[in-house]
């Protein structure tokens, strides 16, 4: 609910902001260095500390890397979300006119969205969306899909 994490470099005399959800101030996260470049950086830093060697990065380099890697991770999540939408539109493109059971997942001025149950994909209610509220069960008919843009359009029935 609080959004994605962000990488930051903390200098030796600076107070760490830590990890909000875990309520700890001295924190780093690592998985496998073949998964994320961030993990490789952390392992290089830990290795230097254990060997009592100089840090492999300057503080300015770490600051730049933290900023860059936060931005690229955010960008990659955006691409992942878009590709899920594209895949969902492709999955449903031969099912135009079918009726599905779903739940309203968003209702605002910009549009009303519904997640159908089977297959579990989300689309926009383009017709008869008035009065729908988040969490309401609804039956919808698939009007069209646009895989190129990742759009799925429904009509409330």
Residue 114 tokens, joined? 């519904």
Do 72 and 133 belong to one domain? no
**In the prediction, which pLDDT does 22 show?**
82
Do 147 and 82 belong to one domain? no
Cis peptide preceding 59, ω within 30 of 0: no
C-alpha–C-alpha distance, residues 51 and 143, integer Å: 63
8 Å CB contact between 71 and 79:
no
Do 15 and 88 belong to one domain? yes
Q: What residues make up the domain containing 121? A: 99-156
Do 120 and 73 belong to one domain? no
- Indicate the number of domains in the chain: 2
Q: Which ranges of 3-140 would DSSP assign to H, the alpha helix?
A: 37-51, 59-92
Its pTM surpasses 0.75: no
Do 42 and 87 belong to one domain? yes
- Return averaged pLDDT per consecutive 10 residues of the chain, 157 residues in all: 72 80 78 75 93 96 93 90 96 97 92 94 94 95 97 97
**In the prediction, which pLDDT does 53 show?**
97
C-alpha–C-alpha distance, residues 5 and 41, integer Å: 17
Do 86 and 106 belong to one domain? no
8 Å CB contact between 31 and 39:
yes
Q: Which of 41, 68, 92 is the last residue of a domain?
A: 92
């Amino acid at each position: 609910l609080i959004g994605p994490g962000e990488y930051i470099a903390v200098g030796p005399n600076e107070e760490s902001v830590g990890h909000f959800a875990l309520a700890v101030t001295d924190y780093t996260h690592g998985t496998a260095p073949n998964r994320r470049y961030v993990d490789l950086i952390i392992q290089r830093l830990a290795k230097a500390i254990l060997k009592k060697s100089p840090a492999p990065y300057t503080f300015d380099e770490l600051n730049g890397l933290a900023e860059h890697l936060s931005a690229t991770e955010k960008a990659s999540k955006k691409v992942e979300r878009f590709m899920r939408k594209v895949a969902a539109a492709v999955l449903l493109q031969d099912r135009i006119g079918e009726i599905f059971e779903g739940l309203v997942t968003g209702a605002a001025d910009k549009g009303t969205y519904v997640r159908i149950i089977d297959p579990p994909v989300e689309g926009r209610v383009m017709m008869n969306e008035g009065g729908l509220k988040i969490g309401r069960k609804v039956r919808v008919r698939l009007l069209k899909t646009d895989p190129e843009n990742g759009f799925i359009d429904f009509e409330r029935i």
